[in-house]
Structure 1
Amino acid sequence: MATSSPMVLSMLLLASLTALLVLAPRLSPPPAAAVAAAGEEASPAAGAGAGVNGAGSNGAAEGVWGVGVGEEADDLRLFRRAALEAAAAEDAKAGPPKVAFLFLTNSDLTFAPLWERFFAGNEARLTVYVHADPAARLRLPATPSFRGRFVAAKPTRRADASLIAASRRLLAAALLDDPANAYFALLSQHCAPLHSFQRLYAALFPPPIPTGHRQNHRQPRPPSYIEVLTGEPQMPSRYVARGETAMLPEVPYDRFRIGSQFFTLARRHAVLVVRERRLWRKFRVPCLPEMAQDLCYPEEHYFPTLLDMADPAGVARYTLTRVNWTDSVAGHPHTYTAPEVTPRLIAELRESNHTHPHMFARKFAPDCLGPLMAIADTVIFKD
């Protein structure tokens, strides 16, 4: 009996280590319920870099591969927990479904007062999350809806997969924070609403279809609103931006898609995004230096390609966020200034060739806040 004790102890130790590895992601405490609380006196960005070192980097590899390439262990844990807990929370939903507003920013949330007016009276049906680049110097104090809603953030950079990673962190934080979050709208600090919250909510959550009018016995699944384009003239150049065969075999050219960075995803697609690894390994690869400036927009490629490959019938193939590309400069869309903000502009931005009008628009310069607030109640929120 004594001679078997070491073997028994070894087996018990092995079993304990195995259980620890399996359960560790669920036992590790969430970062303040997946949202890093930001103090009222401090800059919100100061509390947003939890889990990141002083420079927000992941060591020497970052200098070689770019900000967005490193797949840090804390991100992997976050995404795994979000996918697991989102599935476990399906039966725990209580109350009305909510819209999660995900703000991706590297500067002040200038239009927060307008969003406060948009949110007012609807707090039970929405949540707010902000990913602020740790390098950003946010000078404006957080307004009530944004206070304490800053997620643990990492550096972002234009034309870099770090923007994909930041969007995934926002989705993961929202999935972990509230099981009632049913839609996830990605926005920037330059976005503004074009309709009232009630109009948006009615579009996202229409009344159930009566049994007699359904084609089958189940309610149709809510679609995701994301632009999915093919056949665009710039697609060949964008596809080879990392090299002629860099996307193969996971993404053949005929499955490659492009679209707007800003989307409104249904919950099942938000879970898909945070769980996905296969395509992410391709899109996180940096573009070739000669391609980076004009052809490397991974955040405009990854999401439409992934969703079109995984669930082509489940996406509406258009975005709810209007962008004006008619006079773009260096890859940036037209930026509206204060003199351009009129009731007529709002009406034009709302127009859409699809089922729903546009609900949001970008890109507005900071000086547009005053004119937008002046017509908020009489035009923007008067549906």
Structure 2
Amino acid sequence: MTSSSSPLVLSLLLFASLTGLLVLAPRSSPLPPATPVAGEEEVGVVVGAGKDGGGGVEGRGGDSDDLALFRRATLDAGEGAAMAMAPAAPKVAFMFLTNSDLTFAPLWERFFEDHGDRLNVYVHADPAAKLRLPPTASFRGRFVAAKPTRRADPSLIAAARRLIAAALLDDAANAYFALLSQHCIPLHSFPRLYETLFPPKAAHHHRLPSYIEVLTGEPQMLSRYVARGEDAMLPEVPFDRFRIGSQFFTLARRHAVLVVRERRLWNKFRAPCLPEKEDSCYPEEHYFPTLLDMADHAGCARYTLTRVNWTGSVQGHPHTYTAAEVSPELVAELRQSKNSTYSHMFARKFSPDCLGPLMAIADTVLFKD
């Protein structure tokens, strides 16, 4: 070997060594601890980006730690990387967005039982909330670094994006991302949900649809569109591309990556509404359906898997079921879509006193398909 070739050889060896380290290294590094739940000293972070889990309401979001998390999720957890690393069985990421106790954790625990190899759980708990009920096994240690949230505020969009980014980075096998609240319950068994999301005969799982409600022509469309001002959404979102939908959805991985990567529409929807228009400001119901409809119209099922009853709604809140209303008949009603073309997998909104009656019919009704 000549002296003139030595630097080139050494450079090649160094490059090969660095490449090997990158390939063999873990895909996510340890991150700061999440805000602990009362009585759960060992609840830690799975993935997250908050430096302290606190701070003011992120109504206009875009903090540097969030941006770093979203950028990392975009670069490290894209669809191509997931396909290369994920095992044969894809997983469902259950993402709970909460500002109160996880009352229905025992019911979800029953739902998750014996299926832990095909799911992951993530919880974004508002740091201002005092969660008194200790999480059950599936929830323990699954809290991500969180920031305060507020209803009818972009902070809910930011929290959902934070959950999605966390789930993307945590496990390359996560193929679907279901956003739920503490008031949601399952309506079918886990095997039934899994077969719905991943049909046995599906040729390409990576092209499966996202289950997100996308509505047009609603009476409140115009008032919601101009809530920030007549032309505030232009030019990125013309009125004919503005959409409304449920806050709760189940996204395919390619759309989850799109959500954490996107910036242009987020800059529009995070802008504050005019004081006189606050009753029409629900950005968490607009951003996701508008974005996905504009980006991949054909890739959205255009309905959500989470049933909600808006009959008799109060101050923008849907009907809240009480213990006296829980019955096999109610479950059967909630499962059916309006035109009976598909079955709902989840439902909301249930009061805490429903836990006992729901547990009583879990095996005989809820999880008996």
Match of 1:328 among 313, 330, 334: 313
Deviation of the 1:207 alpha carbon = 1.5
SS at match of 1:322: strand
Shift of the alpha carbon at 1:86?
1.1
Aligned partners of 2:228 and 2:273 also within 8 Å: yes
- Residue 70 (structure 1) shift: 2.9
| Cα shift at 1:56 | 1.8
Paired residue for 2:273?
287
Q: Is the 8 A contact 2:101 2:182 kept in 1?
A: yes
> How far apart, in 1, do the equivalents of 2:53 and 2:164 lie?
24
Give the TM-score of the pair, scaled to structure 2. Answer: 0.87
Distance in 2 (CA, whole Å) between partners of 1:43 and 1:296 is 38
1:253-292 maps to which residues of 2 (within 5 A)?
Answer: 253-292=239-278
Structure 1 residue 29: Cα displacement: 6.6
* TM-score, normalisation: structure 1: 0.84
Q: Are 1:339 and 2:324 counterparts? A: yes
> Structure 1 CA distance, aligned partners of 2:234 and 2:38?
48
The 3-state SS of whatever aligns with 1:127 is strand
The CA distance in 2 between the partners of 1:222 and 1:354, in whole Å, is 21
Distance, in Å, in 2 between the alignment partners of 1:249 and 1:317 is 24
What does the per-residue CA deviation read over 1:298-356, in whole Å, with 9 as the maximum and x for residues that have no partner?
01000000000000000000000000001100000000000000000000000113643
Aligned pairs for 1:141-290 (under 5 A) are 141-209=134-202, 221-290=207-276
Unaligned regions of 5+ residues in structure 1, if any?
A: 1-22, 58-65, 211-217
Deviation at 1:101, TM superposition (A): 0.1
| Cα distance per residue 1:115-145 (max 9 Å; x no partner) | 0000000000000000000000000011000
State the match for 2:55 in structure 1.
56
Letter in 1 for 2:323: A
From the superposition, tell whether residues 103 and 44 of structure 1 become closer, same or farther in structure 2 (CA, over 3 Å): farther
Aligned length: 342
Which residue identity does 1:322 align to in structure 2? Answer: R
SS of residue matched to 1:79: helix
Q: Which residue of 1 aligns with 2:113?
A: 120
CA–CA distance in 1 between the matches of 2:45 and 2:347?
29
Matched, 1:301 2:286: yes
Deviation at 1:262, TM superposition (A): 0.2
Rounded Cα–Cα distance in structure 1 between residues aligned with 2:281 and 2:42? 30
Cα gap change, 1:37/1:238 in structure 2, threshold over 3 Å: closer, same or farther? Answer: closer
Counterpart Cα distance in 2 of 1:244 and 1:44 = 49
Q: Are the equivalent residues in 2 in contact too, given 1:44–1:142 (CA < 8 A)?
A: no
Query: How far has the Cα of 1:95 moved from its partner?
Result: 3.5
2:334 corresponds to: 349
Do 1:229 and 1:258's aligned partners in 2 also have CA atoms closer than 8 Å?
Answer: yes
For structure 2, list consecutive stretches of 5 or more residues without a partner in the other structure. 1-21
Structure 1 vs Structure 2: percent identity of aligned residues?
74
Partner of 1:78: 69
Whether the 8 Å contact between 1:102 and 1:186 is mirrored in structure 2 is yes
**Residues 161 and 220 of structure 1, relative CA distance in 2, 3 Å threshold:** closer
State the Cα RMSD in Å.
2.5
